[in-house]
Amino acid sequence: MKTIKGPGIFLAQFVGDDAPFNSLDSIAEWAAGLGYKGLQVPSNDSRLIDLEKAAESQDYCDEVLGTLAAHGLELTELSTHIQGQLVAVHPAYDAAFDAFAPTQVRGNPGARQQWAVSQLEMAARASQRLGLTTHASFSGALAWPYFYAWPQRPAQLVDEAFAELARRWRPILDRFDEAGVDIGFELHPGEDLHDGVTFERFLEATGNHPRANILYDPSHFVLQQLDYLGFIDIYHERIKCFHVKDAEFRMSPRSGVYGGYQGWVDRPGRFRSLGDGQVDFTQIFSKMAQYDFAGWAVLEWECALKHPEVGAAEGAPFIDRHIIRVTDHAFDDFVSGNDDMIPDFARMGMA
C-alpha cells in the first residue's frame, strides 16, 4: 500500500496582487510556513508560472522547481481549470465565459476554443518538463443547459453533445498521453462531467482513453447528494487527483440542490472550510489508502463564511492528521504459520 502525499494547497483562490500572494517565491514561502509540502499551481496566472515558457524551456522549468525546493516544497500538479472550461462552451454561456479568455479572442467562440486547446497542449508539454504525471482540469460543457429532463430533450441530443465533447478532447488527451501525464477532470456541476454517469459516458465516447481520469472532490458530491464514499469504491482506478474540500447540505423547505439562485451563504448546499462541513474525511482517507492512491491530498479552499487565510492555516494540520501512514506488514504476522502447517484435507476423514 502507498501513503498519500501531502498536505498540498491549490493556489487559485489565493493568488493576488498583494504580497505574499503575487509571486511564486513569496506564496511558496507563505505556504511552507503553514506546513504545506506541495503546491498545485493554476497555469493561467503568469504571476505564478509562464505556461508558454514552461512548455518550451527545460531551464525555466528547473528554475520553477528550484524556487519551490528552496522552501521545501514540491509541485503537485499544474491546473488548467479555466482553459479546460473553454474547450467546450455552450452558446448560452458565451458572454459569461468570455471573461476567462484573453481579450484578443473574446467574442469569437472558435478562436477562443483554439486558444484553449493550445493552452492544454502547452500544459501537457510543461507537465512533462516539470516531471509531473498528473494534471487537473475541467471538461467544459455543451449539454449542461439540458441537464434537467424538461422540456423533453430531442432524441440523441445528449449523445451528440458527448460525442462532440470527446471529439474536442481526444486530440488533447493524445498529447497528454505522449507526455505521460493523466488528466484528472474535476467532476463539477456546470461541467458536462459532473458525476460518475457522465464521466462514464465521456470515457466511452473517447474509446476509454487511458489519460481520461478523475479529480476527486467530495464537496461537489455533497451538494449533489451523491454517495461520495461509494464513488471511490467504483472509480478508484480512475482517481488520479484529490481536492480536499469540505461542504454541507442543510435540508430546507424553501430550496434544494439547485440553490434557488441564492448567494452561497443562503444556499442549502454550500462549501465550507475543512472540518466545518459534513464530509467524512476519515473514511475518505481510509478508502484512498485501501485503494493505493499514490497522489497528493490538496486543499482547495472555498468557504462562504471563513476568511481564506484562516482556512489555509487550518487546512495543513487537518490534512496531515488524516493522512494514513500505511502499514508495511499485517497486524497478525506475529502468529503467522508456514506451509508445513497446511493439513492434507484430501486424506482427512479417510481413516
Residue ranges covered by each domain of the chain: 5-341
- pLDDT (average), residues 108-118: 98
Local confidence band at 332 (pLDDT 50, 70, 90 cut-offs): low
For cell 483554439, what's the residue?
A: 114
Which CATH number is associated with domain 5-341?
A: 3.20.20.150
Question: Residue 98 — φ and ψ, nearest 5°?
Answer: -60, -30
- Looking at every residue in the chain, the average pLDDT score rounds to 95
Q: Is 100 helix (H, G, I), strand (E, B) or coil?
A: coil
Could you report the per-residue pLDDT of 36-77, keeping only the tens digit for each? 999 999 999 999 999 999 999 999 999 999 999 999 999 999
Q: Which three cell numbers stand for residue 308?
A: 481564506
For CA atoms 124, 126, 132, 138, the dihedral sign is: negative
pLDDT, position 289: 97
Neighbours of 24 (CB within 10 A): 21
Local confidence band at 347 (pLDDT 50, 70, 90 cut-offs): confident
Angle among Cα 41, 287, 331 to the nearest 5 degrees reads 125
Local confidence band at 343 (pLDDT 50, 70, 90 cut-offs): confident
Could you report the per-residue pLDDT of 240-269, keeping only the tens digit for each? 999 999 999 999 999 999 999 999 999 999
pLDDT, position 154: 93
